[in-house]
Structure formats: structure tokens, C-alpha cells
Amino acid sequence: MMAEVLNLATTPPAVPDHTAFRDFAGRLLAVARAATAIGASRRLAIGPLDLTLRAADAGLLAAFTHGLADRPAAGPGPRQALTIHLLAGPARIGATGEQPPPPAWPLPSSEHQHLRRLHLTADLRLYAWNDGAVWQLHDPTSATAVYWARDLAAIPEWDYGAPLRNLLAWALHDAGRVLLHGAVVGDAAGALLVAGAGGAGKSSTTLAALRHAGLTTVGDDFVALTGDGMAEALFDTVKLDPGALRRLAVPDAWVANPGRPAGEKARLHLDDWLPEALVARLPVKALAVPCIVARPDSGFRPAAPGVLLRALAPSSLFLVPGAERQRFAALAALTQRLPCVTLELGQEAAGVGRLVAAVLRGLRHDA
């Protein structure tokens, strides 16, 4: 019976056909709903989203919930509901029904060498990664989404560090937010948005400021930004490379992924170790690009806004698909409007923390 509900391995139409995408997505959603109808669920407040996660597997639910920042942010506009159905492996429906995970992209395709498949429209967002190992679907009309992995092993490490990133980004867009790649650290009076590619020093700056200057954060990697420059927390994770772990003297017990593959960063969860340091919202007052220097002490100097836009926009646009032109415009406006600095990060972690606090004090003084 369920095979009639979900015939995902449908024969592709000969030509690209939007109806085929819509039909496929509808069946994907129907099975995910049925498979998670009896299982574990959890409600969280993520930025402007009232999120309900439903999962057939309690372990998967716990793993994803662990990485999310459950902190409601009273921002502009009404709160928006989103239900995400989580599956890993076959969908088991009732006593006997079982559906395998979705197949490799079963829809028209002219290029087969790519790992990512994507279909974006105003009313349907569908994404498949690694030849269908992970599927993500967002149907904004029904405020419903699906995350379906072929099995637990198919879930990449970054999905534990920033769970459900694409789905949240699409829903946040509908709520008037921009998801950007950067760290935000400061306090209620003002915060720095620290931009840069992976390994630039965003996370080590953030953790140094939390531990040595008593500041707070809304995230070290991805945050939401409102139209009035308020950054909102989405994830509770901090990711550090081995050098940063040593410089910051991070206790081994704080590392949530000790058996991580070589090359993967260590993942810490702020809610486990520094819960008071993760807050719902911070007002962004300046932009910073980090620069690691060989000397012990830290300092800062003014930076050209173009440098900041180059540090902020490319990875923000290319790491999360969708609405690139609008997000670029929002990020460009931010760099035109706010002061920009280069943070010269010395080897002494306490000095980095003090530097961030000093920059923020200087901004208040100038204001």
C-alpha cells in the first residue's frame, strides 16, 4: 500500500517539468509525515521560528537538538512555525510498511557529476546531497520540512555542527532574516560580527572573548541577521582546530566529537559548558576580519569595507543556497553602514578576549 503512496523512483519525464518536482516532493513529504507520526518530538524556539522536530529515531532527534540554540528571540515580525521531519534509513510506517530512503535524484538532469542537486522556487525548496545520501525539502506553504539521510553514517559532521542549516536558512528568509557565515560576539550594548573563511579565527576569537572578557555570543559560524542589524542565535556549537584548542586550553571533556575523522574540527556545545554565554540576540555595531599574527599580543586597525565584504559575502552565499542576490545586497548594505576593523590576533588567548572588549568599548566611546 505504501508503495503507492511513495513511488519515489519514478521514471523521469523526458524534459524538465516542474510538475514532476512538485509531485516528487509531495510524496516525499507524505512518507516522512507518516514515518514520524509515532516517534519522538521536541519543540524549540530558534530565532523567530517555533520549531517542532519529529523523528522516528530518538537518537537522531537528540543529536540535532543538541546543536540548536533553543532561545526565543523577540524580533521584528510574527513568530513562524516550522515542523521538520527527521529520518535516517528506511521509513517504517505502521507494523509492516517500509520505504527505502529516497533514491538518487530521480528527476531530469543533464549533469551527473555533481554531488548536489537543487531545485528552488518560491513555494518549494528541494535539495539532495551526495547523490541522494541526504535529502532536504522545505514546503513553506505547509510550514513543513523533511531531512532524510540514507543512514546515520551518511550524515556529514557539519550537519551536527549546524543542524538543518539549509532548511533553517530558507525558513528564516521567509521571516525576513539573512543567514550569514560569521561569528557575533559582544553584549547587549553592541557586538562585533567577525567574518572570514573557515580557519580564519572566528571561533577562537569568540571563545577567547567568552572566557577571558565575559562577553556573550549568538554563534561562531552561522547566525541570522534581521533587517535592523540584530544578530540571532541558531546553533550552540563552537568548532576549533587543534591549534586553537591548545591556545585556548580547552578541557578535553568539552569536545563533543573526540573520535572525529582526521581534519575535522573539534566541536563544543556552549549549552553544555558555558550556557550563559549563548544569548538569543545581539546588536551588531561593527564588522571585523581576523588576522592571526605570530606575536603574543593582539591589536586592531581600521579596515576597508570592501575587505569585510570579501570576507563575509562569498562563503555566506556559497555555503547556503538560495536568494543569493538578496543576501548579497543585505550584506553589502551592512558593510557600507558599519565601522570595519582588522583584528590582529596574537598567540595569547586572554589578549584576544581583551582586544574584543576594547574594540567594543571604543565603539561606544566614539558613538
Q: Interhelix angle for 305-319 vs 324-337, to 10°? A: 160
Interface with another protein, residue 323, by CB under 8 A: yes
The 10 Å Cβ neighbour count of residue 222 is 23
Q: For residues 98 and 324, which CB has a smaller minimum distance to another protein in the complex?
A: 324
Neighbours of 246 (CB within 10 A): 11
Return d(Cα 267, Cα 5) in angstroms, integer: 40
Q: Shortest Cβ distance from residue 120 to another protein (Å)?
A: 5
Tell me if 319 contacts another protein by CB under 8 A.
yes
Question: Is 108 one of the binding residues for another protein (CB under 8 A)?
Answer: yes
Regarding 103 and contact with another protein (CB under 8 A), the answer is: no
- Which helix H or strand E contains 352, and what residues bound it? helix 349-366
Rg (C-alpha) for the chain, rounded Å, is 21
Which 3-state string (H, E, C) describes 6-51?
CCCCCCCCCCCCHHHHHHHHHHHHHHHHHHCCCCEEEEEEEECEEE
The minimum distance between CB 278 and another protein, in angstroms, equals 23
Select from 315, 342, 351, 360 the one that contacts another protein (CB under 8 A): 315
The reply to whether 90 sits near another protein by the rule CB under 8 A is: no
Handedness of CA 284, 287, 290, 296 (dihedral sign): negative
The one among 246, 272, 306, 361 contacting another protein by CB under 8 A = 306
Dihedral sign from CA coordinates of 174, 80, 139, 282: positive
The yes or no reply on residue 17 touching another protein (CB under 8 A) is: yes
CB 160, min distance to another protein, A? 19
- Tell me which stretch binds another protein (CB under 8 A): 31-39, 80-88, 157-165, 219-227: 219-227
Buried b (16+ CB within 10 A) or exposed e, 161-185: bbbbbbbbbbbbbbbbbbbbbbbbb
Q: Of 245 and 308, which CB lies nearer to another protein in the complex structure?
A: 308
Other Cβ atoms closer than 10 A to 289: 23
Interface residue with another protein among 40, 143, 332, 350 (CB under 8 A) is: 332
Q: Is 202 in the site for another protein (CB under 8 A)?
A: no
Q: Does 326 bind another protein (CB under 8 A)?
A: yes
d(CA 146, CA 135): 7
Count, residues near another protein per rule CB under 8 A: 55
Q: Which of 322, 347, 348, 362 binds another protein (CB under 8 A)?
A: 322
CB crowding 192-217: b at 16 or more within 10 Å, else e: bbbbbeeebbbbbbbbbbbbbbebbb
Choices 151-159, 182-190, 271-279, 328-336 (CB under 8 A): range interacting with another protein = 328-336
Q: 119, 165, 247, 281: which one contacts another protein (CB under 8 A)?
A: 119
Decide if residue 364 touches another protein (CB under 8 A): no
Site residues for another protein, 137-196, by CB under 8 A, read 140, 170, 173-174, 176-178
Enumerate binding residues for another protein (CB under 8 A): 16-18, 21, 105, 107-111, 114-122, 124-125, 140, 170, 173-174, 176-178, 197, 225-227, 304-306, 309-310, 313-315, 317-319, 321-326, 328-330, 332, 335-336
